[in-house]
Homo-oligomer: A and B are copies of this chain.
Amino acid sequence: MEHERIVILAHEEFPDRAKTALGVMRYGTQEVLSVLDRDHAGERVHDHVPDIADAPIVSSFEEAAEAADGDVDALYIGIAPIGGGFEDSWRDDVIAAIEAGCDIVSGLHYFLSEDEDFVTLAAEHDVRLWDVREPHEDLTVAGGNSADVDADVVLTVGTDCSVGKMTASLEIVEAAKERGIDAAFIPTGQTGIMIEGWGNPIDRVISDFTAGAVEEMILEVGDDYDLLVVEGQGSIVHPAYSAVTCGILHGAMADGLVLCHEEGREVVHGYESFELPSLPSYIDLYESLADPVHEASIVAGALNTRGISDDDDAAEAVDAYAEMIGVPGADPVRDGAEAIVDGIVAGLDSGGETR
């Protein structure tokens, strides 16, 4: 689903708690006409976030549509409150957008397509309510065929949740393209899906179809590119989410893995009684678990250094990380992903024959 001109709803949360909005604005190809945030109406995106495309911040969809002469394709819900609910204070904006002929795209747990008022109105105006967390109905079990596509496949794997696997994946695709490699991002979570306009929300599929839902995406586009970068989820040692991680690992049948970590993280986020194992243990685990299905090596590392303010300190942390895991590394946000792409290219050249 391609939307060219969009408005993003981020009421009272822009920019710091509007992760989805920022992801779409930074990495999506959609033109963002304006951001809805009644707390910052009258300001501009650049007042808060200087390194993405600028846009006005307005208080309602009606204002946004007026400023765009009514030429808007879709309204994206760019925030996700704890619990994933829909706030009633957003209802007027969604209704106005539907009445203006816009699709609505949402990554909330609350499905707009199960809200009778929205459904009725959407049918009247012939627009789509796209809940990206709702898996499509034709998913099935994996066939073990992902390695058959023409593209090399790289997967970002993590030491934990929320260490920056999506961002690393998107930066790798950008850096690879700059190097002339025909690369594509394979989205597995709601923000990635909203950025790309397609994809399977792997953590919401039936557990038996976890690998199959990844394989389906790889088979769909894998012959059209030279490199696919699959967005990883969770971590293989996560007390709650390891099933998703494992299914993605085996479903992707990746040739190379990029190990993503946040500097200073020592315990599982939200599960603080569980200590993270050592970095070498992660390498052993991911490689030995991948191997019986499809041989894969850690070829590069991405270190999230958001907790370090000094650039030199961050660079030192990245160097130490790369040395510890024995492959090229970078903080993709601070440094870009060129060093990571170096590692991917070198790693796949040396190991690619094993496929």
A202 touches B211 (CB 8 A): no
Tell me the chain A residues, 227-241 only, with Cβ under 8 Å from chain B.
236-241
**A89: Cβ under 8 A from any B Cβ:** no
A144 touches B240 (CB 8 A): yes
On whether A236 and B289 interact (CB within 8 A), knowing A206-B207, A207-B206, A244-B208, the answer reads: yes
**A243: Cβ under 8 A from any B Cβ:** yes
A311→B253 CA distance, assembly (Å) = 41
Chain B residues contacting A144 (CB-CB under 8 Å) are 239-240, 271, 273-274
A141→B242 CA distance, assembly (Å) = 11
A293→B275 CA distance, assembly (Å) = 8
A202→B208 CA distance, assembly (Å) = 8
A244→B142 CA distance, assembly (Å) = 13
A249→B277 CA distance, assembly (Å) = 17
Chain B residues contacting A207 (CB-CB under 8 Å) are 202-207, 209-210, 243-244, 247
On whether A247 and B242 interact (CB within 8 A), knowing A144-B273, A274-B292, the answer reads: yes
A64→B142 CA distance, assembly (Å) = 42
A106→B4 CA distance, assembly (Å) = 48
Shortest Cβ distance from A275 into B: residue:
B292
B250 touches A238 (CB 8 A): yes
A206 touches B208 (CB 8 A): no
Q: Chain A, 207-225, contact with B by CB distance < 8 Å: what is the 0/1 string? A: 1111110000000000000
**A246: Cβ under 8 A from any B Cβ:** yes
**A354: Cβ under 8 A from any B Cβ:** no
**A285: Cβ under 8 A from any B Cβ:** yes
Chain B residues contacting A212 (CB-CB under 8 Å) are 240
